[in-house]
Structure 1
Amino acid sequence: MEHKCANKLEQISQEDWGKTPTSVKKLVEEMAQQIEQQEKKIAEVLTAQEQLLEKINQTSKNSSLPPSSDPPGFGKKQPKQKSSKKRGGQAGHKGNSRDLYPIEECSEVIDHHPEECANCGASLTGVDTNPYRHQIVEIPPISPIVIEHRLHQLTCSGCRTKTRAKLPEFVNPSGYGVRVVALVALLSGVYRNSQRMVQSAMLEVFGISISLGTVNKLRHEASNALGCCVDEAKHYIQSANIVGADETSFNQGNIDGFNPEQRKAWLWVAVTPLVTFFEITLTRCTQGAKNLLGENFSGILNSDRHGAYNWVDLERRQLCWAHLRREFIKISERPGVSAQLGTALVKQQEKLFELWHRVRDGTLSRDDFGELVQEIRSSIRATLLEADEYQITAREKTPLAKTVRTCRQLLKVEAAIWLFVTTPDVEPTNNAAERAIRPAVIWRRTSFGSQTQAGSHFVARMLTVVTTLKSQKRNVLEFITQAVVAARGDNTPPSLLPQVTPCSDDSELLKAA
């Protein structure tokens, strides 16, 4: 009945439209235009609403936001059932205790012998060749070593000219020794203390009174002393076979006039197993990446999809699967077709990493892994191609349009997400670079960046030295001390490159790191 009525009304309207008065026609056309405009506005509001919802729902799981930005309770695991076991070490568990210092390093050894038997009270004699050792570790009172140089002034008996002695060349005019310089750099660069906190620590712990201006001068001296060491590390990175790279924003002021446009600075990091290099520049573009890796970089790059790295051939790139997973989850949380596409991509990604964990654990060979990945790769590519078939306009901002654009971008770089399958030592994620850059992010948050270019150099050089030496299990304070000694004496500075001894090789160093 409704269908017949609709046809009849349509026939009447077509037959009688020509007889309709002009004023009525104009009114109908105006109403039609208003309806069309309202529909466009409603569509725009719905699109803006979807965009806001997507932005509100951003978490560390579907975006590049850090876990600290997640809402309270997000990702909280279900509470485990209470165990019936008692607290502490269980039966058969090998206990851990602190390491004892060698006997030759002990300042004093006191032997305690039992005089009588704990059971019958009889007198005891003899020698215990393996006594129980209990050590008390103490720090002696710390007082600075002060060496005073007296420059005497004498008067010539002939011309009555007064002449004062000069400091020998080996005496630094700053008034502070190399270990003081290294310690100031350590407190500031490793433990990220402010200059005022460094000043307080030097006085309260070491009894050394030092001004804030001198703290800054000693920091710069340490930074300059480490310059050659860091440059050597940069050359090592640029010639490495596999490098992980990442970048994060940094604040650099213009007190010294080197940032007159008040541009945002960027802290770049390049990571290898035993050497890590940091650099702060005022650009995040391609030139910044080339400065980091070198114009003639020929190794394999592990990174995210930032466009500054696109000058590296796709055949020598491994895109981070952690970033890809977040993109897939973001797509799966959108409505409609996007949810279907995203869910399919997430499932394939989970299958891929189940296999990868077996390879890492040694329960699946690389050859078998490569064969099994072929099906996963085909499924992911098919899903991306399915999304590519949807037609969208250039300025469309709907969830589906965002999904299609992301999938089209991934199709362009699809060859760069599978390198880890066929190339040994290439990781599927860029976690190494992200872990390395995290201390820099904490430094940035606590210090609000740097105020000068020299301050940025200090930050980058200290991060390079500390991260590299920790990966090689070398002492940071001693290294900085050696660097300052070399700089004051125009000697060869120490090296940040891996120290290979006759009884060790690179593989052993990699295992140790």
Structure 2
Amino acid sequence: MLHYLAALSIVPGIWQPMVVERDWQSELDARDRRIAELEARIAELERLLAANSTNSGKPPSMDDTATREERRKKRNRLKSERKRGAKPGHKAKFRALVPPERVARRHERFPRVCGKCNGHLPKQPSGDPLRHQVAEIPHIQVDVDEHVLHQVQCPCCGEITRAKLPKRVPRGAFGPRLMAFVALLTGAYHLSRRDTASFLKQVLDLDVSLGGISGIERRVSKALAPATDEANDYALSARVKHVDATGWRNAGRYRNLWTIATEAVTVFGITLDGSRKALRKLLSRAHGVLVSDRAG
């Protein structure tokens, strides 16, 4: 729709009317399109600004303080609303009994007198007994084997020869089971070396220094290297593998823990960063389908 404006052309000494043509509808349409574009942009920016771990793929570590506080309040509220104990209709569960072959000692208990008439009862069971088991930790004491290497002087030539340790005897101060136990405490149960040393002293009455625990960790890591390499090769050659990374700071330095999960095995690898270069180095021998949450 065209609209016309009447105007006056002012020329010195001459007054002359002039008609100006203007398309108002086109301007309105252009304005509406621009407003729609800006509204869409604002909505997208608001969506990005409101994104957190609850409504997007962001990890919880990237949430702002307000979102973390709201999540904490919601978790505490749900805990307070949830009643303790078994819920109505819940099927009772009892501790499973240990099979007879695993029982260390079996004590046969018979009632001596009748619970009604107080008469003497024979040791002849009537029906199935009720089994009551009590689990207990035995007294733990570390076995220490001492190998005394004597030296003997030869009566023929006078040479003094000292005995040697058999090949089966560890050259270190700790046996394989103890070293595996220490590695379990620090590796699987995430005890610090200091806490591990305290545990060994309190429970086993065994003194092991922090350096000794570090030495045990190195020896166990070396012993596990073939199995670790085999698991890593299997994971890289799997038809489908899932990869994810988590970063953290250790003593002021940034590290990245990579996880490669397959149907059969899961392996971990630590890199200095989470860059694509580090990922390519980690997966240099990989083939098949790689599933990742925008890694690299």
Output one character per residue of 1:155-208: Cα deviation in whole Å (capped at 9) or x when no partner.
Answer: 334554433222222222111100111011000001111111111111111122
Change (3 A) 1:250 1:80: closer
Q: Is 1:269 aligned with 2:262?
A: no
Quote the Cα distance in structure 2 between the aligned partners of 1:145 and 1:156. Answer: 34
Q: CA deviation at 1:276?
A: 0.1
Which amino acid in structure 2 is aligned with residue 60 of structure 1? S
Match of 2:287 in 1: 297
Q: CA deviation at 1:273?
A: 2.9
| Equivalent in 29, 53, 57 of residue 60 of structure 1 | 53
Match of 1:280 in 2: 270
Quote the Cα distance in structure 1 between the aligned partners of 2:249 and 2:259. Answer: 16
Change (3 A) 1:90 1:123: farther
More helix by share: 1
Quote the Cα distance in structure 2 between the aligned partners of 1:201 and 1:81. Answer: 35
- The 8 Å contact of residues 269 and 279 in structure 1, kept in 2 or not, is answered as yes
Q: CA deviation at 1:303?
A: 1.3
- The 8 Å contact of residues 239 and 287 in structure 2, kept in 1 or not, is answered as no
Which amino acid in structure 2 is aligned with residue 280 of structure 1? I
Q: Aligned to 1:273, what secondary structure does the other structure show?
A: coil
Match of 1:375 in 2: none
Q: Aligned to 2:69, what secondary structure does the other structure show?
A: coil
| Equivalent in 225, 228, 235 of residue 227 of structure 1 | 225
Change (3 A) 1:58 1:89: closer
Change (3 A) 1:118 1:290: same
Quote the Cα distance in structure 2 between the aligned partners of 1:224 and 1:187. Answer: 17
* Aligned pairs (5 A) from 1:197-216: 197-216=195-214
Q: Aligned to 1:270, what secondary structure does the other structure show?
A: strand
| Identical aligned residues as a percent | 32
Q: CA deviation at 1:216?
A: 0.3
Q: CA deviation at 1:81?
A: 12
Quote the Cα distance in structure 1 between the aligned partners of 2:64 and 2:93. Answer: 33
Quote the Cα distance in structure 2 between the aligned partners of 1:221 and 1:169. Answer: 17
Match of 1:109 in 2: 106
Quote the Cα distance in structure 2 between the aligned partners of 1:249 and 1:285. Answer: 11
Which amino acid in structure 1 is aligned with residue 239 of structure 2? N
| Equivalent in 235, 238, 246 of residue 237 of structure 1 | 235
| Equivalent in 128, 143, 146 of residue 145 of structure 1 | 143
Q: Which runs of 5+ in 1 are unaligned?
A: 1-6, 16-46, 254-261, 309-513
Q: Which runs of 5+ in 2 are unaligned?
A: 1-5, 12-41
Match of 1:188 in 2: 186
Change (3 A) 1:281 1:81: closer
- The 8 Å contact of residues 200 and 207 in structure 2, kept in 1 or not, is answered as yes
- The 8 Å contact of residues 245 and 271 in structure 1, kept in 2 or not, is answered as yes
| Equivalent in 67, 72, 79 of residue 69 of structure 2 | 72
* Aligned pairs (5 A) from 1:399-478: none
Q: Aligned to 1:203, what secondary structure does the other structure show?
A: helix
- The 8 Å contact of residues 142 and 207 in structure 1, kept in 2 or not, is answered as no
- The 8 Å contact of residues 237 and 293 in structure 1, kept in 2 or not, is answered as no
* Segment drifting more, 242-251 vs 190-199: 242-251
- The 8 Å contact of residues 256 and 274 in structure 2, kept in 1 or not, is answered as yes
Which amino acid in structure 2 is aligned with residue 64 of structure 1? P
- The 8 Å contact of residues 255 and 272 in structure 2, kept in 1 or not, is answered as yes
Q: CA deviation at 1:227?
A: 0.7
| Equivalent in 128, 134, 137 of residue 136 of structure 1 | 134
Q: CA deviation at 1:112?
A: 1.9
Quote the Cα distance in structure 2 between the aligned partners of 1:271 and 1:79. Answer: 32
Higher relative contact order (CA 8 A, sep 6+): 1
Quote the Cα distance in structure 2 between the aligned partners of 1:82 and 1:215. Answer: 46
Which amino acid in structure 2 is aligned with residue 304 of structure 1? D
Which amino acid in structure 2 is aligned with residue 113 of structure 1? F
Which amino acid in structure 1 is aligned with residue 115 of structure 2? A
* Segment drifting more, 65-74 vs 288-297: 65-74
Match of 1:4 in 2: none
Match of 1:392 in 2: none
Q: Aligned to 1:72, what secondary structure does the other structure show?
A: helix
Q: Aligned to 1:197, what secondary structure does the other structure show?
A: helix
Match of 1:316 in 2: none
Change (3 A) 1:166 1:287: same
Which amino acid in structure 2 is aligned with residue 276 of structure 1? T
Which amino acid in structure 1 is aligned with residue 94 of structure 2? S
Which amino acid in structure 1 is aligned with residue 276 of structure 2? T
Q: Aligned to 1:233, what secondary structure does the other structure show?
A: helix
Quote the Cα distance in structure 2 between the aligned partners of 1:100 and 1:89. Answer: 25
Match of 2:153 in 1: 155
Q: CA deviation at 1:120?
A: 4.3
Which amino acid in structure 1 is aligned with residue 261 of structure 2? V
Match of 1:99 in 2: 96
Match of 1:246 in 2: 244
Q: Aligned to 1:217, what secondary structure does the other structure show?
A: helix
Quote the Cα distance in structure 2 between the aligned partners of 1:86 and 1:266. Answer: 39
Q: Aligned to 1:199, what secondary structure does the other structure show?
A: helix
| Equivalent in 163, 166, 184 of residue 165 of structure 1 | 163
Q: Aligned to 1:268, what secondary structure does the other structure show?
A: strand
* Aligned pairs (5 A) from 1:231-380: 231-251=229-249, 264-298=254-288, 300-306=289-295, 308=296
Change (3 A) 1:272 1:296: closer
Change (3 A) 1:68 1:228: farther
Quote the Cα distance in structure 2 between the aligned partners of 1:151 and 1:68. Answer: 66
Change (3 A) 1:157 1:123: closer
- The 8 Å contact of residues 270 and 292 in structure 1, kept in 2 or not, is answered as no
Q: Aligned to 1:100, what secondary structure does the other structure show?
A: coil
More strand by share: 2
Quote the Cα distance in structure 2 between the aligned partners of 1:86 and 1:232. Answer: 46
